[in-house]
Amino acid sequence: MNMMKKLLSIIFLLVCINVNAQQVQPPYAARINRILKQLPAGNQQQLDSCMMQIKALGAAGLTEMAVMLHAPGKGDNTRLQYALSGYATYISAASREEMRKTAILAWSKALKLTTQPESKIFLIDQLQLFGDKSVVPVLKQYLLQPRFCDPAVRVLMQIGGSEALIAMEAALEKAQGTCEISLIKALGDLRYLAAENGIIKRAQSENPVLRRTALFALANIVGGDSGPILEAAAEKVGYGYDITGATAAYLLFVANLGHQWPTAPAMTAATNILRKCKGDSLEHVRIAALKIVADILDYDANNTLMLAADSKDREYSAAALALAVKIMNAANAESWIQKAERVDAGKKAAIITMLADSKQRAAISLFTKALKDSDPQVRMAAINAAGQLQSIEMISPLLVAMKTADTSTVKAIGDVLLTIRSSEVPGHIAVAMQHAPPSVQVILLQLLAQKQAAGQERFIRLLLNNPDPAVAQAAKSTLSAIGL
């Protein structure tokens, strides 16, 4: 009987202990729940208050808060994630160094305690906002884990510095699959030269995704051993397209090489590409190489671009003109003006358009002369150039050209005159329309109406009794439109 009583007592004690244990809450749970009920905040003052309450939890409270995240389907994390991400953003400000240090301690501990992958990923992602080099040791272990390596790499890229770079380079030696690709891309984007040899090993991989990632990483790093490998890869595919992007990677390498001194190696490489890449299918490659040459030579590329503009390949020629716009100055403009006099109509029109795009007022005499050209595309290019430059000097020549132009050209000139924002335009129009053909007079009267040229009333009234009824009606309508 005594034995039975003792046994019952022990059972009762164990039950009590168990009940009490179930009733004990984590030390910060009540405070955290009060904070969560206040979120999302209605205004900045409430938000600041919540952030200060989270700060007051300290490292232990922040850790407890972070490990409260539920597994997917096991609870609602909305308020908790809002609070944690909001706090991560809040402490990222430059003046909150101590708060960041406390949060780093809390996050580091929470990452060890949290077993749910989704929660780990969420916490790692937040470190992009406030993490520093002290979290590198914490993140090292995740660089070889497929589920976590990508977010961990993003954090290390954001942190930067030698510690992060060395950690990623060391992980690359053992990395496989998606981790290997993430690390290679990151080291390439960060242009970490020490990783060149490790990445070169992957440039011959049978895995096309891995090979592509390695080639582009090498193109960004621009190491001394990468050039021959990238060139060979591009030559192997005939400078065409392939799934590894070998040609694009080599072009990127040469472009990046052009930003280094001396520039001779890049010039040699780009020139070789231009020499090797013939035919319509490689036109885009030649254009890319031409751009590299233009970028390297800068204003001294003018002669190269003038030669390229002579190409029978229309797109290559057009690309040369587009590049010429970027390096235009007075001396270069004069060379193009002289060239325009020696080329066929199509090229001449293209050069006029290019000079207008680069706002070269020195070319106005060329544009004015081109208004009388026998080729319609040259004339149209000159008309548009007048509008581009808002050329007052070309107002009279444009009005003269209208007298003998066809209908479409007359309309184009009218549209350009309408765009020229000068007070001189209405006066020129009013005088010129007195001696213009009737169809042109109608268009010029419409222009005066659109420009509200009340100051030209006298000239408009002179056409009220014009023998052509269309002109007379247009004059009447114009007076009405300008309120006279």
Task: Average the pLDDT over 354-376 and give the result.
Answer: 95
Domains held by the chain: number: 1
Residue 64 in tokens: 């407890």
Establish if 206 belongs to a structural domain: yes
9 pLDDT band (50/70/90 cuts)?
Answer: low
pLDDT value of residue 42: 86
Establish if 214 belongs to a structural domain: yes
Establish if 440 belongs to a structural domain: no
pLDDT value of residue 21: 40
Task: Average the pLDDT over 100-126 and give the result.
Answer: 96
**Picking from 70-74, 286-290, 307-311, 364-368, which range would have the lowest pLDDT averaged per residue?**
70-74
Residue 22: is its pLDDT beyond 70? no
**pLDDT tens for each residue of 70-100:** 988 888 999 999 999 999 999 999 899 999 9
**pLDDT tens for each residue of 446-467:** 999 999 999 999 999 999 999 9
pLDDT value of residue 17: 43
405 pLDDT band (50/70/90 cuts)?
Answer: very high
Establish if 233 belongs to a structural domain: yes
Establish if 200 belongs to a structural domain: yes
Establish if 89 belongs to a structural domain: no
Establish if 225 belongs to a structural domain: yes
Domain that holds residue 202: 191-237
Average pLDDT of the residues of the chain = 93
Residue 478: is its pLDDT beyond 90? yes
**pLDDT tens for each residue of 174-227:** 999 999 999 999 999 999 999 999 999 999 999 999 999 999 999 999 999 999
pLDDT exceeding 90 applies to what percent of the chain?
A: 90
Task: Average the pLDDT over 299-304 and give the result.
Answer: 95
Establish if 301 belongs to a structural domain: no
